[in-house]
Amino acid sequence: MRAFLTLFLLLALLSGTVSAFAQDPAAVSAAEVACGPKGVNFDVKDDDSEHAIKQPEAGKALVYVIQDLGIAGCPGGCITTKVALDGTWVGANHRSSHLAFAVDPGEHHLCANWQSHFAGRSEVVGLAHFSAEAGSVYYFRTRVLGLAATTFFDIDPIDSDLGKLLIATFPGSVSHPKK
């Protein structure tokens, strides 16, 4: 029994789905500060004309968040991912797509959160932080690995060459909060 419990907790930790009894509420609350308010959802459309790399405006940095669903495309329906910066939703990606937004120099916290009608899926969150420098461009990629009982979701910084390739490959994303 003890071995089973140990294996269960290890699998739960690896899958990022630890139950509420094992969570530290203060740590969860601190991590959620990066995300926007609950209940905000987006309408998202692709913009196939958005493939050129933008330049940051004066005194700002530019952040790209690229959703990469790989060659599988949209198994069982397409995933919409909301993106927040420092607690404010800035947009969303649907299918394999990208969005870009300007940030002030300094430390920032990103949150990527599935937008879903299913409660379990809408709790899936990826977090990352970075220090922005004026004039720089930052590339982050969200990915889903597995869609069965164990689902891994992440947002990670990626190399600028890969970021440019994915932007050239995937359409831009135009999103607006649903009313």
Q: What is the pLDDT of residue 3?
A: 43
Residues contacting residue 13 through CB under 8 Å, at least 6 positions apart? none
**Cα separation, 51 vs 89, whole angstroms:** 23
pLDDT digits (tens, 9 = 90+) for 24-50: 777 777 667 899 988 899 999 999 888
pLDDT digits (tens, 9 = 90+) for 85-136: 999 999 999 989 999 999 999 999 999 988 865 555 656 788 999 999 999 9
Q: What is the pLDDT of residue 2?
A: 46
What's the pTM value of the predicted model, to 2 decimals? 0.80
Task: Read off the tokens for 89.
Answer: 């939703």
φ, ψ of residue 6 in degrees (nearest 5) = -60, -45
Residue 96 CA to chain centroid, in angstroms? 12
Determine how many CB atoms are found less than 10 A away from the CB of residue 146: 10
**Cα separation, 175 vs 82, whole angstroms:** 9
